[in-house]
Amino acid sequence: MTEDIGKTLSGWWREALRPADDTSAARALRARLRRADALEALAQPQVHDLVARAPWLRHRPKGLIRVVQVLAHVERNDLRSLARVLGSGDPPAMSRARFERLVRSEADELPRALRRAIVLTEGGCNVATLGRDVLNWDDPERGEDIRRNWYFDYFNAARDNAAAEGKTEDIAQ
């Protein structure tokens, strides 16, 4: 797993799911992956194209299925992580309580929770980061770090908004 999996997933998303000309084949693939069960997702040739780019994904089928199903819902790539987008706005795009439930989701609940979250972003977030995080959500070594980073991104989005508007808080109070 020496390659940058985020870059690989982002490239695959751009080519298979969201090509510049948005072909009927890409639209059909997105629709199939959105409603596919595990075996149906693995029956898509484009998923095997992704595995050909990163062969070790064959040994992580649950993560692979999760990531392709979630990425099928992303409409546009954004520089900001999903958590950052969800924490943006006043009020934030996703409430704090709902965000905390999302971050505490178990891996098998994650695709459903993320589908709902992506709707709140109008379909945009950083594809590479989301893909990498979804793939590693249940990883014993990385999962906690991923969740921690999501908290920082979500809660710091509000601070970014305040700074952009010229608002400041005296933290020492």
Q: CATH no. for residue 39?
A: 1.10.520.40
| Residue at 168: amino acid letter | T
**Does residue 171 lie in a domain region?**
no
Residue 110 CA to residue 138 CA, distance in Å, equals 10
In a domain, 172, yes or no: no
> Does 164 score more than 60 pLDDT?
no
| Nearest CA among 33, 23, 32, 13 for reference residue 111 | 33
Residue 84 lies in a domain: yes
Q: Give the Cβ contact number of residue 50 at 10 Å.
A: 22
Is 147 a member of any domain?
yes
Could you tell me the sign of the dihedral formed by the alpha carbons of 148, 74, 16, 126, in that order?
A: negative
Inside any domain, residue 169: no
Structure tokens at 81: 């992580």
Q: Quick check: is 99 in a domain?
A: yes
- Compute and round to an integer the Cα radius of gyration of the chain: 17
Using the predicted structure, report yes or no on whether residue 76 has a pLDDT greater than 90. Answer: yes
Domain count across the chain: 1
Question: In the structure, what pLDDT confidence band is assigned to residue 173 with cuts at 50, 70 and 90?
Answer: very low
Residue 96 near residue 150 (C-beta atoms within 8 A): no
pLDDT at 150: 97
Q: At what angle do helices 110-120 and 61-71 cross, to 10 degrees?
A: 20
18-33: pLDDT as tens digits: 999 999 999 999 999 9
* pLDDT score at 162: 53
At 135, is the secondary structure helix, strand, or coil? helix
Model confidence over 83-125: pLDDT tens digits? 999 999 989 999 999 999 999 999 999 999 999 999 999 989 9
CA distance 126 to 39: 27
Predicted TM-score (pTM) of this structure: 0.88
pLDDT at 172 over 90: no
Which has the higher per-residue pLDDT, 166 or 12?
A: 12
pLDDT at 157: 74
Amino acid code (one letter) for 114: L
| Cβ 64 vs Cβ 51: under 8 Å | yes
* Residue 77 placed within a domain: yes
Residue 109, domain extent = 5-164
Q: How far apart (Å, rounded) are the C-alpha atoms in residues 137 and 65?
A: 13
- Structural domain contains residue 155: yes
